Amino acid sequence: MRLARPPVLQLTIGERTVRAEAVRGGAAVWAGEAAYESATDLSEVIARLASAPSERCRRLHVTLERPPAQTRTLTDLPPVREGELRSLVANQAGRFFRRNGAALVTDATWIGNGSGRITQAAAVEEPLVSAVVSGANQAGLVVESITAAGVSSALQLLPNAERAMRARARRRIVMRMAIAASTVWVSAGVLFGVRLLTERRNIDAELAAADAPLAALRDVRQEMRTVESMIVGLTEARRARGEALAALARVSSAIPDSTVVTSYTWRGDGSGLVAGAGRRAADVLAAIERTHAVANPRISGAVVRETLAGHEWERFTLLFGPATP
């Protein structure tokens, strides 16, 4: 079952009378009228009229007839913004409107007249609209608008105190909304940061988990390369040792029986030296050359002659293999 919205109370205030209608959906569901003598008893009249409808109203729209409202069309005003225009008219209210010894509430707006813009302004004595707001408060009504008949509905004639109170309320609402928005953004930022940190930790964990097998594989490959190098080294050593022993055997077979080898050196490139003593170093060199025991044999340095056991001996050093450049 759909509940009907409460009707809106619409007041039309003339110079001495107040007409009231309770309106729902554009149709009047109740109407009444009352007279008032001054602004002093207007609030009581409004409270009484608000309590008369069978259905209680919650909101109030007020239209002021002329009089008590004053309306003007002003020209030759500077082309300022709306807020500055309202301040300009309010500060010069005595120039544009009649004063009867009471403060005026004014409002102004720009309107188009086909060839440009002119100013539409309205004013009312502040005690009268203050009485309207007071009567509405007594009846529990929310004043949504106070306008003047025959002018733009943008012109609002709320009392200055009510305007200030509503401006403070709007500022509080804006502040609360800004705080709420800031809180939402900060919370979103914190949540995003937490999620980012969590995702980063997960990624780091996955990378660490993936890096362990890779590290093990790198270690295995390094060990395989080390073993391969060792095998190659051992193979080379065996081959070189075999070549060295073969060369030494050939040299031993080639040299004369009277020759003594005291030192033998073999290098991996096939070069080396043989040091020893014999009757004649030249005979030793010739024997090695004749049998091709080693490649490129040659005497290095001077041959030293010495006498041992009554015989002449020559100490020599033979180089073989690639010649030194």
- Tell me how far apart the 2 most distant CA atoms of the chain are, in Å: 168
Distances (CA, A) of 74 to 35, 68, 81, 88, 186: 33, 19, 15, 12, 50
Could you give the dihedral angle defined by the CA atoms of residues 282, 287, 292 and 294, in that order, rounded to the nearest 10 degrees? -60
Q: Please give the pLDDT value at position 116.
A: 79
Tokens matching residue 307? 């006498």
Query: Sheet harboring 17-24: ordered strands across?
Result: 27-35, 17-24, 8-13, 59-64, 142-148
Q: Are 132 and 90 in contact (CB under 8 A)?
A: no
Average pLDDT for runs of 10 along the chain of length 325:
76 92 90 90 91 89 92 88 90 88 90 82 93 91 92 90 86 90 88 88 82 76 78 70 78 80 80 84 82 83 76 84 64
Please state, in angstroms and rounded to a whole number, the distance separating the CA atoms of residues 233 and 27.
110
Q: Please give the pLDDT value at position 1.
A: 44
Domains in the chain, start-ordered, CATH in brackets?
A: 8-172 (3.30.420), 243-320 (3.30.1360)
